[in-house]
Amino acid sequence: MYLDLFCDSNSDGIGDIQGLINRLIYIKKLGINCIWILPLYNSPMMDGGYDVSDFLSIRGNLGTISDFQRLIKKAHKMDIYIILDMVINHTSDKHYWFEASSDPNHKDFEKYKDYYIWSDDDKKYTDTKVLFRDYEKSNWEYSTKRGEYYFHRFYKFQPDLNWQNKEVFKEYEKILSFWIDLGVDGFRFDAVPYLYKEEGIDSENLPGTHKILKNIKSFIKSKTKKDLLFLVEANSQMDDLIKYFGDGFNEANMAFNFTVMPRIFLSIATGNKIYIENGIKRTLPIPYNNSWAIFLRNHDELNLDMLNPNDLPLFFGLFGKENVKFNNGLAERLASLFKDNKHKIILAYGILLSLNGVPIIYMGDELDTVSDLKDIPRNVIYDKRTIVRSKINWDIAEKYIWDRQSTYNHIRDMLLIRKKYEKEFSFSDISLVRSDSEGLLVYERFYGRHHFMYIFNISEYEKSFHIKTLGVNKFRTLLLSRVHVDYSMINMLTYSFVWIKVL
């Protein structure tokens, strides 16, 4: 969540730490046990806080370090963990390190001159693609003060750090120590594939990057006996992605699964299960003590890099509007993508929350929050991702809490089932079950003597069938949405699902 968009406690129009403290009960009742706070550090806010100017501070309009300590204490009393977004690929060009590094006349120039990647020309790393190609023409920007070019994978105001300089690692030891000492339960490390650069290749997912992350993990383990969450954002193909788990202990213990997510949308939009099934088949096994982070939407664009390129025209044709395209994706909220169709939204969560991994819900999606097209840009740059960074409407929240048919309560019910069968969801694999209809998605999992099956009608047509056609005789219904069970007959309305326990 973005603190500044979540809950405003003092009526200044900006959400804050106290606002989150006041609403912890709302989060607890939904069934959430961990809050991932997006960048809260001092920042010019040119890129939603990912342009950090001071990692050892909190933006003044959000609150103080003392407020943050109160949040940690209150959250822990309610068995809620707090993790922070940690930006390690770059800083803001307003960070003290860069101000010193870019100015030979600065008193600390000698200390910081190699904290970033500098070159006499813009000819290095030519095989490294420009990520924000709609906004930046090059990965290099000229500094008139220093008379050299500096490297940036993202916006020009976000210079990349030079991780080949050991002093950079020492700085992050101080930063991580500071927040660990305050009691955080882990970190989500941003944009990790780009940390290490080499000539002649695309500079993504390199061995040098894994060495950096392993060193960070080693430091964290030496700093605290707590098993902190080490979540990495690596929007990469599955073969590269699973390498971030290392041996299961020495690198990440959680990573986002970008392979399944876009295929959930495609299957629901087309009524064809083949896309989700392909996503499940493509998801590779990981060490037993690690986990995938699974999600539908987040604070960025819906990224489509992991889709088959042949499916991109179909996806854009189904969901795309020119004003929400951002790079190779769409800057749209979940509810807006499904045109506020509650049945499709709840179905999407029915699929997500039955999959292997730790589900992540983007703030407001439980309230069917739509894209905000009115408040763009937040700053001087037209970043379409601002569309999905919309505020929580607490009047709507109050209504959703009391409405048993709301998305909020459907998610709450699903999370209750997941909690009841936590081991079964965490330590068992999914197996696809054959069905004759392309619009009927079925899979199952086994754990010890327990056998679960999940049945989804992802089509615009109603379906009725005998449960024996899926190889089931006796069962107990755990959860359903728009499904009527008549003994052994399953009658499914459009965009519906049922979770069952096979007896």
pLDDT tens sequence across 469-496: 999 999 999 999 999 999 899 999 999 9
How many separate domains does the chain show? 2
pLDDT digit string (tens) for 78-105? 999 999 999 999 999 999 999 999 999 9
Residue 128 counted as domain residue = yes
Question: Is residue 321 predicted with pLDDT exceeding 80?
Answer: no
Residues acting as catalytic residues: 190, 233
- Give the CATH number for residue 136: 3.90.400.10
Length of the chain, in residues: 503
Given a contact cutoff of 8 angstroms between Cβ atoms, the answer to whether 184 and 82 are in contact is yes
Per-residue model confidence (pLDDT) at position 45: 94
Q: What is the CATH number of the domain that holds 469?
A: 2.60.40.1180
Residue 453 pairs in a beta bridge with 444, 500
Answer for the pair 232, 254: CB distance below 8 angstroms, yes or no: yes
> 113 in helix, strand or coil?
coil
Q: Is residue 325 part of a domain?
A: no
The per-residue pLDDT for 379 is 47
7-29: b or e for each residue (b if 16 or more CB lie within 10 Å)?
bbbeeeebbbbbbbbebbebbee
Other C-beta atoms lying within 10 Å of the C-beta of residue 127:
11
CA distance 393 to 334: 16
End residue of a domain, out of 119, 151, 183: 151
What is the number of helices (H) and of strands (E) in the chain?
17, 19
Phi/psi of residue 451, nearest 5 degrees:
-135, 120
Specify the pairing of strand 229-232 against strand 291-295.
unpaired
Instruction: Give tens-digit pLDDT for 123-163.
Output: 999 999 999 988 899 999 999 999 999 999 999 999 999 99
- Whether the per-residue pLDDT at 58 is higher than 80: the answer is yes
Taking alpha carbons only, the member of 172, 179, 157 closest to residue 40 is 179
**Per-residue pLDDT at 382 exceeds 80:** no
Q: What pLDDT is stored for residue 386 in this prediction?
A: 86
In this prediction, residue 214 carries a pLDDT of 98
Residue 91, CA distances (Å) to 135, 153, 452, 474 in order: 18, 11, 46, 58
pLDDT of residue 378: 47
Query: What pLDDT does 320 receive?
Result: 74
Within a domain: residue 455?
yes
In this structure, is residue 365 part of a structural domain?
Answer: no
**CA nearest neighbour of 88 among 39, 47, 48:** 39
Residue numbers of the domain that contains 140: 96-151
Give the pLDDT confidence score for residue 9 in this predicted structure: 97
Q: What confidence score (pLDDT) does residue 234 get?
A: 97
The whole-number pLDDT of residue 375 equals 54
Quick one: DSSP state of residue 49? Answer: T
> What is the Cα gyration radius of the chain?
23
Please give the average per-residue pLDDT across 293-309, as a whole number: 94
Distance CA(189)–CA(57), nearest Å, equals 18
**pLDDT at 469 (0 to 100):** 95
What confidence category does residue 328 fall into, taking pLDDT thresholds of 50, 70 and 90? Answer: confident
- Note the pLDDT of residue 106: 98
The Cα 420–Cα 434 span in angstroms is: 27
Q: Which of 124, 151, 178 is the last residue of a domain?
A: 151
Task: For 440-461, write each residue's pLDDT tens digit.
Answer: 999 999 999 999 999 999 999 9
Q: Classify residue 305: in a domain, yes or no.
A: no
Token pair in block for residue 63: 């609150």
Does 372 have pLDDT greater than 90?
Answer: no
Read off the pLDDT of residues 388-436 as tens digits, 9 standing for 90 and up. Answer: 999 999 999 999 999 999 999 999 999 999 999 998 988 899 999 999 9
264 part of a folded domain: no
Q: Which of 106, 122, 151 is the last residue of a domain?
A: 151
- Using pLDDT thresholds of 50, 70 and 90, give the confidence band for residue 213: very high
Q: Alpha carbon of 302 to those of 51, 55, 331, 363, 420: distances in Å?
A: 21, 27, 6, 15, 31
On whether residue 462 sits in a domain, the answer given is yes
Q: What is the pLDDT of residue 380?
A: 40
Residue 446: inside a domain, yes or no?
yes
Average pLDDT over residues 8-24: 97
Residue in the structure block whose two tokens are 């202990």: 249
Average pLDDT, the chain: 95
SS3 state at 174: helix
Read off the pLDDT of each residue in 184-202 and give the average, rounded to a whole number. 97
Q: What percentage of the chain exceeds 90 in pLDDT? A: 92
pLDDT at 374: 65
pLDDT at 255 over 80: yes
